[in-house]
Structure formats: C-alpha cells, structure tokens
Amino acid sequence: MTEAYSQRIKRLNFRLPSLEQLYWSALVLNVFADETPGRTSQVPQAIAARLQRSIGSGSLAAGAQLPSQRELAEQFGVSRASLREAISILATLGLVEIRPGLGVFVTDPQHRISPWRFAHAASPRDVYEARLALEGTAASLAAVRISDLTLVKIATLVDDIASALERQDLVAMSAADASFHDLIVETAGNSLIGSMYRSARQLMVETQRAPLATRERMIETVNEHRAIHAALESRDAKMAGEAMQRHIRGSAQRLGIPL
C-alpha cells in the first residue's frame, strides 16, 4: 500500500471491519445471490436466532429494551432492512414487542401475543382461506408426483420442527415449518400455483409463525406435519389435501380464527 493511498484512507476515517462483521457480510452476499424461497430469509433468521438466544439465556430479560437498530445493525454487520425483518420475526413469535416511538422490548413469557403486521394487505382470515385452497391443492398434486428423495427431505423437516420444539427454539421451528410448506408447493409441479404462492409467501409464512406464540399447543402442529408426511408417503392425493387443510384450519384455530 503506497503512502498516498494510506493517507487517503486515513482522511476517510476508514476502519477495518471486525471478523464478526466480515462473517455476516459474507453470509448476506451468499444468501442474496440466490433468491429462492427459504434462502433469502436466512440472514434475518440468523439474526433472530442470535437475539432469541440472548432472550433465552437471560442476557435480555423480560422488559429489557433492545439496543437501537443502528447499534444492532453495526454489531451484526448487516443492513437495517435485514435487522427489521429479524425483529419482525421475533415480534410475530411473541418474543419481543415493538412500541412505536419507544423501541423494541422483550416480552414477559406469560403474556406473549402475536401482532399482525400486514393489515394493509389482507387479514389473517383472508390468508388462511387462501392457503386452504392453494396449499390443499398443492399437497394433493405433490402426493402423486413426489419422489422418494423428496419424501426423505420432508421427513427430515418434520424432525427438525419437532427437535426445535423440544429445544424451545421458535426461530428454528418457524424456519423448518416454512421450508416444509415451500417444498410441498415446489413438489406440486404447477408453475401457476408456485407463482401465486411466491407472490403471497410473506403473508403465508406469517400465518405459520403467529400460532407459535401459543406455547401450550405447539405439539399439535408437529402432529399435523407428521400426518401430512404420512399422506404424501402413501401417495394418496385426497388424503394429502385433507391433511394439509386440517393443519391450516388447526393453525388458524390456534390463533383464534375458526374456519
């Protein structure tokens, strides 16, 4: 490095990033190189997982205020957009509460609720009703088109959901849940259904996460996913569609929405 170049760097007040910042930046570049469902959300999921661990360990106790978005973004070496999405994930899971004008606070485990942040686009009922039609059909199609390898992948995702529940890792549980539904829609092999699903995926994933704030009934979602896998394994289109619809109705009911 020449002396002139060194002086220019000093005048710009340039600072070398920490190893942690380099790690997160590399993760961002790697993820956004492939914008398929399940990959574009890896950075927010990873941030949410770290914050969840801090909450679980007591480093961030109930009632504690999280550092500002600017501070957290600098700490993790990520964009504020990714950070905001991570905080939204935690809010949907009932782990934090976003108080406009005040900040983000860790919730009391005994009084956790899941806010709906897409009121401008659709109600939770709207989304669940759309999922009944779209994902029910996708599951029926997938049952007659699924390969043995994809069945193994789906079984692994169900195990991941169950394992995350045992660890009380809600971030990992919601991520595996989203991947489970993504894979079934992909396996359906219908380009129009896939396009419709992707266009509303953010809302659909939100309705998958929201019921997880109700801790007492989370075992129900594990059993529902196992039933869907069993129906797919039997290659029974009718059974698979019905199993998916039972799961979606159960998810809605856990959120207080009868369908």
pLDDT at residue 25 is higher than 60: no
- Summarize the confidence of residues 195-216 as an average pLDDT: 88
Domain assignment of residue 116, yes or no = no
Confidence of residue 59 (pLDDT cuts 50, 70, 90): confident
Non-local (6+) Cβ contacts of 35 within 8 A are: none
- 102 and 133 belong to one structural domain: no
DSSP 108: P
Dig out the tokens for 259 from the structure: 């369908």
DSSP 111: S
Handedness of CA 249, 252, 254, 257 (dihedral sign): negative
Domain assignment of residue 147, yes or no = yes
Angle between helices 148-167 and 170-188 (to 10 degrees): 160
Confidence of residue 186 (pLDDT cuts 50, 70, 90): very high
What does the chain come to in residues? 259
Question: Rounded to whole angstroms, how far apart are CA atoms 156 and 210?
Answer: 23
**One-letter amino acid for residue 215 of the chain:** R
Non-local (6+) Cβ contacts of 214 within 8 A are: 254, 255
Residue 7 or 170, more confident: 170
CATH of the domain at 98: 1.10.10.10
Residue 163 or 15, more confident: 163
The per-residue pLDDT for 213 is 76
Cα angle value 233/40/24 (rounded, 5°): 125
The model's pLDDT over 97-145, given as tens digits with 9 standing for 90+, comes to 999 889 999 988 777 777 788 888 999 999 999 999 999 999 999 999 9
pLDDT at residue 215 is higher than 90: no
Other residues' Cβ atoms within 10 Å of the Cβ of residue 215: 13
Q: Which of 245, 178, 250 is nearest to 214 (CA)?
A: 250
Range with lowest mean pLDDT among 20-24, 106-110, 121-125, 211-215: 20-24
pLDDT at residue 237 is higher than 90: yes
- Summarize the confidence of residues 36-60 as an average pLDDT: 80
The per-residue pLDDT for 108 is 85
The per-residue pLDDT for 3 is 55
Domain assignment of residue 115, yes or no = no
Domain assignment of residue 25, yes or no = yes
- 176 and 234 belong to one structural domain: yes
Number of structural domains the chain divides into: 2
Q: Where are the alpha helices (DSSP H) in 33-123?
A: 42-57, 69-76, 80-92
Dig out the tokens for 198 from the structure: 């992707």
Domain holding 86, by residue range, is 3-106
Q: Which of 158, 134, 127, 123 is nearest to 245 (CA)?
A: 134
The per-residue pLDDT for 37 is 53
pLDDT at residue 15 is higher than 60: no
The model's pLDDT over 72-82, given as tens digits with 9 standing for 90+, comes to 999 889 999 99
The percent of residues above 70 in pLDDT, for the chain, comes to 84
- 132 and 102 belong to one structural domain: no
Domain assignment of residue 111, yes or no = no
The per-residue pLDDT for 12 is 43
The per-residue pLDDT for 7 is 52
The per-residue pLDDT for 139 is 98
Range with lowest mean pLDDT among 1-10, 45-54, 66-75, 113-122: 1-10
Residue 23 or 167, more confident: 167
CATH of the domain at 168: 1.20.120.530
Domain assignment of residue 101, yes or no = yes
DSSP 107: P
- 89 and 133 belong to one structural domain: no
Confidence of residue 41 (pLDDT cuts 50, 70, 90): low
